[in-house]
Amino acid sequence: MKKIILVLYCFLIVLNAHSQPLSSEETQKLIRLNEVYARDQNPILEHAWLLYRTDDDAYHAKADSILNKFISQQDNDPESFTYGQWGWVWRDGVKRADLNNALFRAKMMLGHLWEQQNRMSAQTQANFIASCKALLEAAKRRWDTEIFDIYRDYVAYSNIFVFYTQALTLAGDRFDNARLKKTASSQWTRWYNHVSFFGIDEFASPTYNNAIFRALMNIHDFCHDNRIQRESLEIMDHLYLLQSALTHPIFKLPVSGISRDYRNFLTTADARSGVLSLPLPEGYTAPAEAVRINSARRYPFEVIGKASINPFIFRSYQLKDAAMGSMTGGACFQQQIHCMAAVGENEHERAVAFLQGSFTPVNGYTDQIGTSTLCVYNRLPCYWHFTQWRKDLSNYRDTIGEFGLGLSANWQEKLYSPEHIILTAYGYDLHIFPFELQQEKVRPSALAMKHRTTTSPRYHPRPRIFDEYVFPPEPDWFGAYLILVKSGLKMDEPAISYANEDGIMCFQTKAGHRIRLFIAEKGDTRQLYNVDPALIPLLRIIEPEP
């Protein structure tokens, strides 16, 4: 009887689903996907979805074939740890997969394709429903085996937990299951409680904040709960305002310390998060304050915020033609940016410097004052080594790659010495004072220039072209003082000093920068913040009065 009710329910859903004609952009995408499929026969869910939405029976049959082929690649062994997942492989006698694969496909399967069942053959529809159930089971199992970094474990792994909640919300609605709906509501509350107090853990990330932003709208649309709808819009407003504030409107680039950044600004002029650059979801209106600062902000424009239980403190200081941003708190993700400087005239004419350049798990700490930042790093174990890596800690250095200052095009080297490097672009000079700690003394550090064609040889690699000033690999402690000034201004030595009193390591400059650190009993590095993080809001915007 339950099966009959489910079939009738599915029939009513698809019967009432209104057909949406393809837009001109979607029509062009369908043409491209047809060409790609003719060449490589690789099934793509979006391809099937676009085919179903046409009025061509032959296209519907082709969509059936593509969808069934895609479903056949799903793990269908209920006893497997990768059950319901795509992209699984046998390795070392064990099935392995990215456990996020099923979550990433929930919107297309339980959202878009669900509404096209009236155009599927009976057999394809049966396969589709069975696949959706396996996907749901994979979502439920998402947290069974994988351990994440401390301070970001489970709920605090922001983007994946939102996709998990989205999958439960969609499934609860589509299968009209009261228990699923209750579970989705509870897990939403778990995530909302975390981020409303501690912020988004992938803070300032152009990629992940957009993924969260879009998933929040899906939760809003399918939860059928006034409280969750209100809370989801609240977080969307926070993300929109956050990305608006951190993004320099002339450079079209977020200039800030960033938890996870794929260096897209090296490949595209408009490097804004999709939160800002893509069309807004239907039914969402951007906050008025965000709209204002995107079109008419007043300089100097300053932003400070925090995220995660740890916490991480991030900043952005912007002038009309220059900006600097930073973050402090340790190692966040391998793709982190601890300090960024940008100058230019527009998104097509700009120069960007960023620490760190290549992806690698290194602890970093900063203190920023205006357009100057003291950066201190160490090659000691970070939380990732203690909690996720789970191998012999005596070999942890094998996981740390080369570390340096990345440079986009358009910088010119004006001066190079171990003590002082000057880069110039668009009327500004970026002074770099690299240093390392030797026998408890601050010494100059000779950086080596290397040309990169990828963000990393091992961690989330992306093809990128940039140059990188690389620090020597030997010192445990090293760093740089960066200051951005108008070209031609003479810069004095920053007089970086170091002291270790009762285990508190203190790095300072004569300009007032100060970074205090200590090594805790497990060997992790912790920071004593200059301002109590409890006094720092999730987001504060400071600009001159009109």
pLDDT (tens digit, 9 = 90+) per residue, 461-509?
Answer: 999 999 999 999 999 999 999 999 999 998 889 999 999 999 999 999 9
Tokens of 334: 């391998």
d(CA 74, CA 70): 7
SS3 letters for 263-318? CHHHCCCCCCCHHHHCCCCCCCCCCHHHHHHHHHCCCCEEEEEEECCCCEEEEEEE
**Which tokens sit at 478?**
């090293």
Calculate ∠ Cα 119-124-130, nearest 5°: 120
Tell me the C-alpha distance between 177 and 213, whole Å.
Answer: 26
d(CA 354, CA 452): 14
User: What is the three-state SS of 117-144?
Assistant: HHHCCHHHHHHHHHHHHHHHHHHHCCCC
Q: Which structure tokens are listed for 39?
A: 């060449």
Helices (H), 41-108: 45-52, 57-72, 101-104, 106
Which amino acid does the sequence have at 517? L
Q: Is the peptide bond before 28 cis (omega within 30 degrees of 0)?
A: no
Residue ranges per domain, the chain? 1-146, 312-542
Residues 6+ apart with CB under 8 A from 39: none
**Contacts of 81 by beta carbon, 8 Å cutoff, 6+ apart:** 94, 95, 141, 144, 145
Sign of CA dihedral 393, 395, 397, 400: negative
Q: Phi and psi for 542 in degrees, rounded to 5?
A: -125, 120
If we measure between CA atoms, which residue out of 439, 411, 284 comes closest to residue 341?
411
* pTM (two decimals): 0.93
Which residues does the chain have with pLDDT short of 70?
A: 1-19
At 217, is the secondary structure helix, strand, or coil?
helix
Tell me the Ramachandran region of residue 317: left when phi exceeds 0, alpha when psi lies from -120 to 50, beta otherwise.
Answer: beta
User: How are beta strands 339-344 and 322-328 bridged, if at all?
Assistant: antiparallel
pLDDT digits (tens, 9 = 90+) for 57-116: 999 999 999 999 999 999 999 999 999 999 999 998 889 999 999 999 999 999 999 999
